[in-house]
Amino acid sequence: MLSVTGLDAGLVELGGLLFTDQDLSGGAGRSCATCHKLDGGGEDGKRRAIGIDGEELLFNVPSIFNAAKNYRFNWRGNFTTLEEQNEAILLDPNVMGATWPRILRTLGDNPDYVERFQQVLGERPTRRGVLDALGAFQRSLTTPDSRFDRYLRGDAAAITAEEEQGYVLFKAFGCVSCHQGENIGGNLMQRFPVFSPRFAQERQHESQASRRADLGRYTITERPEDRYLFRVPSLRNVALTAPYFHDGRSASLHDAVDEMAASQLGRRLPRASVDLIVKFLATLSGRTDMGVRPAAQDKRY
């Protein structure tokens, strides 16, 4: 079950303003919320992130909800803290395209921001203050009280019999080996794919950069043992965050479960089993201050 304690309300509020402020992108008309939409699953619903020039980037946008519970950040585990990741995203010319002098000048020229920073942090806008505020806001973005959370607390009626069967299969097929803990994932790196040699063959039409991105953490460390290692994503709210995987290859949860079976188990699951697992995954959607949002229905099943 999720819990958050010790957050300063004023710092969280300030971080929320910064998170949605397009002025931080230096006139590019983008904010953190451009890619991490707070009225859905905390991502953008696209196959891969769209860069500042409108071009598709290399990776699918991870959800911002519960992200603070991950042990590393980004698909390749590039960063160990939210603050480290936030700074990299702010300064990335393909994402936010900002610079610290421009950010601090923009905030310093805004009387409301100057007053808020003084009230909350006792100083004018600074690099550390911006990063602390963004981090505090993101740590507040948890989605507790999913139906599965209530089930684990002893409310047997919180999920249906079919959803419970899906949970049994989720454990029986070994999904829980990687997707476990408070965040139902996000706490280790795993090779992807283990099986499925077609993975490389399917990618021949992609750019060299995209094919290199498939090497995962290796592109950060250059260590042979890190080839194809990716951070295991959290499955909280997974019914709200299509498409799936680091490259957005699967458009639906059914497709994603099929892909995982082929790539990680080397097998094809019966359709009935996939249906039940997908029903279980829908119980992982939690609450925000906007309430629980239903997942989109996959019309093909």
Q: Which residues are annotated as a binding site for heme c?
A: 32, 35-36, 175, 178-179, 260
| DSSP state, residue 162 | H
Residue ranges for the known binding site are: 32, 35-36, 175, 178-179, 260
Q: What is the widest separation between alpha-carbon atoms in the chain?
A: 61
Displacement of CA 129 from its chain's centroid (Å): 24
Helix, strand, coil percent values for the chain (each to nearest 5): 45, 5, 50
Query: In this structure, are residues 85 and 79 in contact, taking their beta carbons and an 8 Å threshold?
Result: yes
What crossing angle do the helices spanning 9-19 and 111-121 adopt, rounded to 10°? 150
| Count of residues in the chain | 301
Q: What is the dihedral of CA 36, 28, 82, 107, to 10 degrees?
A: -120
**Residues 253 and 239 sit within 8 Å (Cβ to Cβ):** yes
**What secondary structure does DSSP assign to 14-80, as a single string?**
HHHHHHT-GGGGTTS---HHHHS-TTTTSS--SSS-B-TTS-B-SSPPPP-TTGGGSSSBTTTT-BS
